[in-house]
Amino acid sequence: MSRERSPQILVLAACCLILLALPFITSYNDLLTAAGMRLGVAGPLQSVSPVEARMVVALLGLVGVHAAAAGNQLVVWGPDGPANLFISWNCIGWQSLVLLALSLVAGLRGGSREAAAQVIVIGVLGTVLVNVLRVAIVCVLAATVGRWPAVVFHDYAGTLMTIAWLFAFWAGAQRWLLADRLGPGDELA
């Protein structure tokens, strides 16, 4: 296996594990939550929730959806009135940042520091944007079609969004930022 393929292999393996775990996502999230609480990350991560809530409101405003945030509480107005939502520390997307970090360890061996810095910045910013978009979609679904479709999207499609982002990110990073690491005859696709 080439070093250029290692982040994709890691993301693929994680995707397979996540897809296998999807029917058991509640138990999986409970385990991650318990581990996070034992590690003491719940408090610091909860302080990120109000920032993410304001980012979601800004994104929703850009597409014409009326929403407001107060702390980690969101209100999104739909055709049937407002939907109240709460962003907990476990819903801000920290798991996707952990997966990104693991793929960065695998994918950034060798190469220039400048390219690595660009890959890290784009990876973190893109992952945060995907998480904000995921929460915004959950909010719109809750306000327009109800709580259960929003929960299903949150638990299943949101995970698939993260995996799709990581595949696209690494394909782009290898094509445009890390291409200098490839030798003659190596393929990107």
**Domain boundaries, given as residue ranges, for the chain:** 6-180
The residues that bridge with 69 in the sheet, in sequence order, are 74
Q: Are strands 73-78 and 81-86 parallel, antiparallel or unpaired?
A: antiparallel
Q: List phi, psi (to 5°) of 78.
A: -120, -175
Tokens for 8, please give them: 């994709």
pLDDT digits (tens, 9 = 90+) for 62-118: 999 999 999 999 999 999 899 999 998 888 988 889 889 989 998 998 778 999 999
d(CA 24, CA 183): 43
Q: What is the pLDDT of residue 179?
A: 79
Q: List phi, psi (to 5°) of 164.
A: -60, -40
Angle between helical axes of 94-107 and 158-172 (0-180°, round to 10): 30
User: How open is the CA angle 14-141-23, to the nearest 5 degrees?
Assistant: 35
**Residue 156: pLDDT band with limits 50, 70, 90:** confident
> What sign does the dihedral 10-13-15-21 (CA atoms) show?
negative
The residues that bridge with 84 in the sheet, in sequence order, are 75
Which residues, 6 or more positions from 83, have their beta carbon under 8 angstroms from its beta carbon?
75, 76, 77, 139, 142, 143, 147
Residues 66 and 136: beta-carbon distance below 8 Å: no
Tokens for 124, please give them: 């973190």
pLDDT digits (tens, 9 = 90+) for 18-46: 777 666 655 656 677 788 888 888 889 89
Neighbours of 68 (CB within 10 A): 15
Q: What is the reported pTM?
A: 0.81
